[in-house]
Amino acid sequence: MSNVTTRFFHTGSATDPIRLRDGGEMEEVTLAYETWGELNEDRSNAILLFHALSGSHHAAGFNPDIEAINGIWQPELHEGWWSDMIGPGLALDTNRYFIICANYLGGCYGSSGPASLDPETGKPWGSRFPHVTAADQVEIQARLLDDFGIGKLVAVIGPSVGGLLALAFATRFPHRVANVVSIASGYKTTVLNRLVLFEQILAIENDPNFNGGDYYEGAPPLYGLALARMISHKTFVHLDAIERRARQDVVQPDDVLAWYRVRDQFQSYMLHQGKKFVKRFDANTYLRINDMWSRFDGAQEGDAGSPEDLFARVKDAGQKWLVFSIDSDFCFYPEEQTELVTHLEKAKVDVMHITVHSDKGHDSFLLEPNLYTPHIAWVLGRA
C-alpha cells in the first residue's frame, strides 16, 4: 500500500451547531480521515471502518503526517494498524471498494478533541470538551458519508470499540448499510468491563498533573495515562501471551514510573507498554472514549425500547451480519460477544458467527488479520 495522507471533514456552524446527546454543543467539528480505493460512479462501493480504542484513522499504508500528541515520531502511528486487511486483492480490496476510516470525535489524531483548539478561545478544549456517545459518533460520520454523496454502504466494519460503533451505525441507519462486521466486540458493556474502565479513569484523574483535564499548559498526566494503559493492556493481550512476550533481555531495571522500580521482566514489559502509549495518546481523549465505551448499551444508543425493537429494524432492513468472537478475549468476554449473536438470531437476522481460536487474546485482530480475512472477503464478495 502506498503513502496515504490525512484528509479533514468540517461540519457545523454558529447557526447550525452540532448538538450532542449529553447536551454539549459544538459550532464546528473536524474529523480526520483517510480513504483507500476509488468511489465508483454511483457511490455504491463504500465501506466505513471504525477504529478501536487507541487506534486512529490511519488503518493502512504509510502516513507521514500523523502527528503524535507530543510531536515525537512514533513508528506505530505511521504504519497502518490493518495494512494486511486493506489493499489491492486483500479482503478489503481497494480495486473494488472505497474504504473510509475516520478518527472519532474526541480523538487526538486530528479530529476535534480535548487537545484540539476551541475556535472560540483559541486554546485547547481540555475539560470543556463535551462528552460524546456512540450515537453522536455515528451521526457525525453519517455527515461525512453525506458529504461524499454516499447513500448506502456495502459494509460497516469495526473491531473492539469500533464494533460498538458499527452496531450503533447499523441500528441508527439500518437502510444505509448492507453488511455489518463486528469483531471482538459486543452488544452492551458489562459491569465487569465498566469496573475495569473505572479503574483507568481513577488512574488518570488522580494524577497530580491532571488539573481537572486542563493540563495542556503544563506537564501532562503521563503517570496516570501510563497506568490506565497498563490496566487495559492486560485485557488486550492474553495473559499467557504476556509471559511469552515479556523478554528478559530488554528488562530496564533502572526504569521507574514515579516511585516504583521494576522487579522482573513482566513488570518491565508492562511499564514499557505504559510509557510507549503516553507518547502517542492524550489522557482526556482516553477519558472521553472510555466514557463512551463504559455506557454503551445497544438499545439506548439506537433509541430503541429493547434489543428486540432494535434488531427488528435490522431484520426489516435485510442487513447481513458477520460476528467474530475470540475465544481468548479478556477485553470483550466471549459471552459478551455471543450476547450480540443471540439478539441477532432471535430477531432472525442473517448472521454468521465465527469463533476465532487464538492464543493472542483481544488484540488478535491486530496481530493475525489472516484469521479474519477469508470470512470478511467471502461476506463482502457476496454483496
Ligand X SMILES: CC(=O)SCCNC(=O)CCNC(=O)[C@H](O)C(C)(C)COP(=O)(O)OP(=O)(O)OC[C@H]1O[C@@H](n2cnc3c(N)ncnc32)[C@H](O)[C@@H]1OP(=O)(O)O
Ligand Y SMILES: N[C@@H](CCO)C(=O)O
CB 203 within 8 A of CB 231: yes
CB 211 within 8 A of CB 267: no
Would you give the binding string for ligand Y spanning residues 194-233, x where CB under 6 A is met?
A: ----------------------------------------
Residue 262: other Cβ atoms inside 10 A: 19
Residue 381: other Cβ atoms inside 10 A: 10
Residue ranges of the annotated binding site are 229, 363
Closest approach, Cβ 369 to ligand Y, in A, equals: 13
Would you give the binding string for ligand Y spanning residues 145-164, x where CB under 6 A is met?
A: ---------------xx---
Buried b (16+ CB within 10 A) or exposed e, 230-260: bbbbbbbbbeebbeeebeeeebeeeeebeee
CB 71 within 8 A of CB 216: no
CA pair distance 1, 380, nearest whole angstrom: 20
Closest approach, Cβ 27 to ligand Y, in A, equals: 30
Alpha carbon of residue 215 to chain centroid:
24
Of 246-305, binders to ligand Y (CB under 6 A) are none
CA pair distance 11, 372, nearest whole angstrom: 34
346, interface contact from ligand Y, ligand X, none, CB < 5-8 Å by kind? none
Which residues lie below 8 Å from residue 43, measured CB to CB, with a gap of 6+?
A: 148, 149, 150, 151
- Interface with ligand X by CB under 6 A: which range of 10-18, 87-95, 245-253, 324-332? 245-253
Backbone angles phi, psi at 131, to 5 degrees: -80, 140
Closest C-alpha to 251, from 242, 262, 260, 240: 262
CB 137 within 8 A of CB 104: yes
Q: How many residues lie near ligand X (CB under 6 A)?
A: 25
Q: How many residues lie near ligand Y (CB under 6 A)?
A: 8
The CA R_g of the chain, rounded to the nearest whole Å, is: 20
Element (H, E) at 86: strand 86-87
Of 42-101, binders to ligand Y (CB under 6 A) are 52-55
Closest approach, Cβ 154 to ligand X, in A, equals: 20
Q: Which residues are tagged catalytic? A: 160, 329, 362
Nearest-CB residue to ligand X? 55
Q: With respect to ligand Y, which residue has the nearer C-beta, 39 or 366?
A: 366
Of 347-376, binders to ligand Y (CB under 6 A) are 363
Which of 30, 51, 92, 356 contacts ligand X by CB under 6 A?
51
245, interface contact from ligand Y, ligand X, none, CB < 5-8 Å by kind? ligand X
CB 161 within 8 A of CB 293: yes
237, interface contact from ligand X, ligand Y, none, CB < 5-8 Å by kind? ligand X
Cell of 47: 465501506
252, interface contact from ligand Y, ligand X, none, CB < 5-8 Å by kind? ligand X
Residue ranges of the annotated binding site for substrate are 229, 363
Which residues lie below 8 Å from residue 330, measured CB to CB, with a gap of 6+?
A: 234, 235, 238, 239, 361, 362
Q: With respect to ligand X, which residue has the nearer C-beta, 81 or 311?
A: 81
Q: Is 185 an interacting residue with respect to ligand Y (CB under 6 A)?
A: no
Which of 97, 269, 281, 321 contacts ligand X by CB under 6 A?
269
Contact residues toward ligand Y (CB under 6 A) are: 52-55, 160-161, 236, 363
Contact residues toward ligand X (CB under 6 A) are: 51-52, 54-55, 76, 81, 159-160, 162, 236-237, 245-247, 250-252, 265, 268-269, 272, 276, 363, 366-367
